[in-house]
Structure formats: C-alpha cells, structure tokens
Amino acid sequence: MHQYLAEITLPVNASADYMHLIPQQRAFIESMFKLGKITSYALALDRSKIWATFFTNTPEDAEKIIQKFPIAEYISYTIHELAFMNSMSTMVPAVSLN
C-alpha cells in the first residue's frame, strides 16, 4: 500500500445543487475513514481546496475513490505519491486501558 495526496480544487461559485451534496460528501468521507482508505481530509479556510491523503495500492485506486465523491462532477484534482506523511496520530502511541 502507498500513500497519495490529492489536491482538489472546488468550484469558485458554489451552486445550490453543489451545496446540497455537502452532507453526502461528508458521510462518504467518513465511510472512507472507517475503511482506512482516506487517512486525512482538510478544507482550506476560503473553501477553494481540499487536501486528502489516501492509503491505496495505486494512484488509480485513489482516483476511483475521488470519482465516487458526491461532489465529483464539480471538482478538479491532482494526485501525488508521498514518500511519507507524519501526523500526531501516527506519532502518539494508542492508549491501552489495561
């Protein structure tokens, strides 16, 4: 498995149709988190970009996930393979309740 970063450009003028898809988009992303396919998801303050990291075998697999986004018809994106990605969640050991 490899990690990929998608830089996703959102529409400048969000239509009502696009805005109605936001709850579905959030639910889809949550399901991808639970499956371990998406490992991070960030939205720019000006809502112009999303950055998402994917844990998949190929960049094509990451692209297939993006193409299933409810907002897919409104976005453009580029995918970059990562050598690594550090985050607090990967650096802090899980707490054991034993």
Q: CATH fold of 2-85, please?
A: Alpha-Beta Plaits (3.30.70)
Please give the pLDDT value at position 89: 64
**Quick check: 76 and 96 in contact, CB under 8 A?**
no
pLDDT by residue (tens digit) across 81-92? 999 888 776 555
41-68 per-position pLDDT tens digit: 999 999 999 999 999 999 999 999 999 9
Q: How far is 5 from 62, CA to CA, in rounded Å?
A: 9
Q: Which amino acid is residue 26, in one-letter code? A: R
